[in-house]
Amino acid sequence: MGVLNVTPDSFSDGGACLEVEAAVRRGRELAAQGADVIDVGGESTRPGAAEVPPEEELRRVLPVLERLAAVVDVPLSVDTRRAEVARRALEAGARVVNDVSALGDPRMAQVCAAAGATVVLMHMRGRPADMQADPRYDDVVGEVAGLLAGARERARREGVAPGSIWVDPGIGFGKTLAHNLALLAALPRLRVETGCPLLVGVSRKSFLGALTGRPVAERVHGTAGAVAMCVAGGADAVRVHDVAEMRDVVKVCDAIRRSANRN
Ligand code: HH2
């Protein structure tokens, strides 16, 4: 999944694609680099980010989705927590809703079910504005798996097809470095306990900065290491900014993993 942020303030690529033309160009580039899905977002959810009014979020994402749907073959995803934004985005050509609040908006599941869309349910503790203020868990893996399984049940009850529900542990969303590492080391368990395909987003994130001492622009190798471990742990998809580079990492790691499963 390639990241296309149409925001002024995203933590690693904010401001790069604010004009529709630039965003469409970047989307085409991600498709050409081998993205299987392009995730278009109009609201930064980095730690400390303020909420964007829904009209502004729509103004950012709708023209980009409309234009991209006409020029790329890969499915488009909308990264939103709002059911109304998801509904309009699905009308504009998106086929996937990437919901970092795992159905925080009570109408979200209904909207996805009505459109026959795939939904990604991501775990977040708190809200972006305050989620990194001393997050605590007794058993981070068990609690994240439990919340995701609960959201999966709600999505099913509201009519989303079981095969159209993905889950994501939400690396960096209300988690310390130790929590992030524990979750990344427990992907096989998360997959079993939620019974859903797993998407993981590690790209350029601050836990990589904590481990390597590198700024955002120099985290591609750290990202590659984390992506490799995600694939080895059974992730079904990874959400990344550096699609060309990570596509190679995924291909190599996936081939080794499949070979191990055969022998
Ligand atoms: N991470 C970010 C945004 N959306 N969605 C899923 N499913 N999983 C993630 O890990 C995830 C996500 C944060 O990254 P980015 O979009 O680059 O930054 P920002 O939130 O500042 O726009």
Residue with the smallest CA separation from ligand 1 atom 5 is 100
Indicate whether 261 pLDDT > 80: no
Q: Which atom of ligand 1 is nearest to the CA of 171?
A: 10
pTM of the complete model? 0.96
By C-alpha distance, which of 120, 113, 196, 195 is closest to 160?
A: 113
Indicate whether 80 pLDDT > 90: yes
- Ligand 1, CB within 6 Å, residue ranges: 3, 5, 7, 10-12, 41, 44-46, 79, 98, 100, 120, 122, 168, 170-171, 199, 201, 239
By C-alpha distance, which of 179, 84, 167 is closest to 137?
A: 179
Residue 260 has a pLDDT of: 87
pLDDT mean across residues, the chain: 96
Environment class of 201 (CB within 10 Å of its CB; exposed 0-12, middle 13-18, buried 19+):
buried
Indicate whether 60 pLDDT > 90: yes
- Give the pLDDT mean for 136-153: 97
Compare 261 and 216 and report the one with higher pLDDT.
216
251 as an active site residue: the answer is: no
By C-alpha distance, which of 224, 186, 190 is closest to 204?
A: 224
pLDDT per residue as tens digits for the range 149-204: 999 999 999 999 999 999 999 999 999 999 999 999 999 999 999 999 999 999 99
pLDDT per residue as tens digits for the range 93-115: 999 999 999 999 999 999 999 99
Task: Give the integer Cα–Cα distance in Å for 39 and 35.
Answer: 10
205 as an active site residue: the answer is: yes
Predicted confidence band of residue 142 (pLDDT cuts 50, 70, 90): very high
Residue with the smallest CA separation from ligand 1 atom 10 is 201
